[in-house]
Amino acid sequence: MSTSSINSRRRPPTHCQCGKPLARRVAWTNINPCRRFFNCRNSTNPGMPHCNSFYWIDPDLPNEWYKSQLLELYLTLNQEQRVHFLGQLSAQERLEILQDEFDVYQNEIETEIEAMGNKKAELEREINKLKKKTSFWRKFGICVVVLLVLLNFYVMK
Ligand SMILES: [Zn+2]
């Protein structure tokens, strides 16, 4: 398992090398208790082909004391408490995912509004152009009519 860190980047990639959306998981090892990471969705399915994509979500815990305390707390929870605890963790993650999605949609909507503003300005320019053209042809038409009337007048004479 390679351990390319994502700490320097704001957003980790969304897909693994297989082209599948990455799975969010929580490590509960001695070295990395309660540390979230992304890896291949298939890595937990025995027999399924999977890739080595792996990205830490959280930074390393600052010292061994926190690590040992977290692990100890986790291990002292009974099964029911542990399920509840993990449920809360995943609820927090779902919230983060929703927040991320919201940000994406908001950006998309803002971009769309901007594009519509540009389109509106473009259409306004087009309308003005057409108005100018129309007034030119109207004047031209009036001139022709006047000329015809004058011509008619002289010919009749
Ligand atoms: Zn994969």
Ligand 1: centre distance to CA 42 (Å): 6
The region of weakest confidence among 48-52, 93-97, 142-146 is 93-97
Whether residue 8 is predicted with pLDDT greater than 60 in this model: the reply is: no
pTM metric for this prediction: 0.48
Confidence of residue 1 (pLDDT cuts 50, 70, 90): very low
Most distant CA pair in the chain, distance: 118
The region of weakest confidence among 37-41, 118-122, 136-140 is 136-140
Beta pairing class for 33-39 and 23-28? antiparallel
| Neighbour order of strands in the sheet with 54-56 | 23-28, 33-39, 54-56
Whether residue 59 is predicted with pLDDT greater than 70 in this model: the reply is: yes
Ligand 1: centre distance to CA 10 (Å): 21
* Average predicted confidence (pLDDT) for the chain: 84
Q: What does the pLDDT read at residue 99?
A: 80
CA atoms within 13 A of residue 11's CA, in its CB half-sphere: 9
Ligand 1: centre distance to CA 71 (Å): 28
Element (H, E) at 46: none
CA distance 36 to 34: 6
CA atoms within 13 A of residue 131's CA, in its CB half-sphere: 6
Q: Which residue intervals of 23-78 are DSSP H helices?
A: 64-76
Contact 66, 58 (CB under 8 A): no
Confidence of residue 157 (pLDDT cuts 50, 70, 90): low
Ligand 1: centre distance to CA 82 (Å): 28
Q: Which residues neighbour ligand 1 (ion) by CB within 5 Å?
A: 16, 18, 40, 51
